[in-house]
């Protein structure tokens, strides 16, 4: 893709945006946050510490109050954005996430003052690909956009726990046996499934699958194969191929 593409526009990255899946959720959230004047970064599940990716991180049981305080300080000349919000520490390296109803309350109370509330809505243990467990994803009722993410780099790898979170669930949805090579069609079957990448997406929300880590021509072609197969199976407006580590859209398949 020759022309610069607006990351926010192509990902419908305003309002309440939930990233799910594996292979770039957190990077996607932070890439979008960097494009907004007023963005909140948060989570509905455990999230690794991310102080260095936001202007300020507030640990609070009152996220509405924290945003109101940030708006007041902005009016006084400070720049607290993007603002990270979490309820408490989970352990030495992670924070807990908010209940989804808390995020919906936040959106109702102060969402109109913000460009976006961006959240990580499930976990993947740093794998490249996943299918959700029974309790996942944690998507608020007030969500506007859901971004199911998968990495192009998982294609060509065997179906195993080394690269895939919950490989047994992926195998079930993709019709793939343990140890078999993952192909573009397998990634597409999971991303396009209402038990996979589209699980719990509300009827009034928009889902835009993201094939991340399209880092070279070969991986971009893999991403295009995945995208074309997704569009044959799911009612989504487009699939975005990206290098989120560079905050860059590689291609948009519609």
At 107-136, the pLDDT tens digits run 999 999 999 999 999 999 999 999 999 999
Q: Is residue 2 part of a domain?
A: no
Any bridge partners for residue 164, and if so which? 129
Average pLDDT of the residues in 227-252: 97
Q: How far apart are CA 12 and CA 50, in angstroms?
A: 23
Helix (H, G, I), strand (E, B) or coil at 47: strand
* pLDDT tens column, 30-68: 999 999 999 999 999 999 999 999 999 999 999 999 999
For the chain, helix (H) and strand (E) counts, in that order, are 7, 14
CA angle 251-252-254, nearest 5°? 145
Q: What would the pLDDT profile of 200-219 be if each residue is shown by its tens digit?
A: 999 999 999 999 999 999 99
Q: Is the CB of residue 155 less than 8 Å from the CB of residue 222?
A: yes
Looking at residue 183, what is its pLDDT? 98
Whether residue 2 is predicted with pLDDT greater than 70 in this model: the reply is no
Per-residue model confidence (pLDDT) at position 23: 97
pLDDT the model gives residue 3: 55
Closest CA to 139 of 203, 59, 191: 203
* Mean pLDDT, residues 186-212: 98
Q: Which of 40, 50, 37, 49 is nearest to 18 (CA)?
A: 40
Averaged pLDDT for residues 178-204? 98
3 domain residue, yes or no: no
Q: What is the CATH number of the domain that holds 111?
A: 3.40.50
How many structural domains are present in the chain? 1
* Spatial separation of the C-alpha atoms in residues 112 and 110, rounded to whole Å: 5
Average predicted confidence (pLDDT) for the chain: 97
Q: Is residue 36 part of a domain?
A: yes
Backbone angles phi, psi at 13, to 5 degrees: -90, 35
pLDDT of residue 4: 73
User: Do the domain assignments include residue 227?
Assistant: yes
Please count the CA atoms within 13 angstroms of the CA of 22 that sit on its side-chain side.
26
Please answer whether residues 244 and 212 qualify as being in contact, where contact means their C-beta atoms are separated by less than 8 angstroms: yes
**Does some domain include residue 143?**
yes
Q: What is the mean pLDDT of residues 96-100?
A: 98
C-alpha Rg value of the chain to the nearest Å: 18
Asked if pLDDT for residue 1 goes beyond 90, the answer is no
Residue 102 lies in a domain: yes
Predicted pLDDT at 5: 85
Domain range spanning residue 56?
8-253
Residue 91 exposed, middle or buried by CB count within 10 Å (0-12, 13-18, 19+):
exposed
pLDDT of residue 213: 98
Half-sphere exposure of 168 (CA within 13 A, CB side): 2
Task: With respect to residue 68, please indicate whether it lies within any of the assigned structural domains.
Answer: yes
């Amino acid at each position: 893709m020759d022309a610069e593409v607006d990351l926010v526009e192509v990902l419908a990255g305003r309002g309440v945006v939930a990233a799910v899946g594996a292979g770039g959720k957190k990077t996607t959230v932070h890439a979008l946050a960097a494009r907004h004047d007023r963005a909140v970064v948060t989570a509905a599940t455990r999230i690794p510490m991310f102080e260095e990716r936001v202007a300020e991180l507030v640990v609070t049981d009152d996220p509405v109050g924290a945003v109101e305080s940030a708006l007041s300080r902005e009016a006084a000349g400070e720049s607290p954005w993007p603002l990270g919000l979490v309820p408490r520490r989970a352990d030495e390296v992670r924070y807990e996430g908010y209940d989804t109803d808390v995020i919906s309350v936040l959106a109702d109370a102060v969402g109109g003052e913000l460009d976006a509330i961006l959240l990580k809505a499930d976990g993947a243990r740093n794998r490249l690909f996943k299918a959700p467990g029974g309790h996942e994803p944690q998507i608020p009722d007030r969500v506007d956009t859901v971004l199911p993410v998968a990495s192009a780099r998982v294609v060509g790898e065997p179906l195993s726990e080394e690269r895939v979170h919950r490989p047994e669930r992926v195998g079930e949805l993709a019709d793939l046996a343990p140890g078999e090579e993952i192909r573009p069609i397998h990634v597409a079957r999971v991303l396009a499934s209402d038990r996979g990448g589209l699980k719990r997406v509300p009827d009034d929300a928009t889902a835009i699958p993201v094939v991340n880590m399209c880092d070279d021509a070969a991986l971009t072609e893999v991403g295009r194969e995945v995208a074309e197969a997704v569009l044959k199976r799911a009612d989504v407006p487009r699939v975005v191929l990206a290098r989120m580590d560079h905050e860059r859209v590689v291609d948009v398949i519609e």
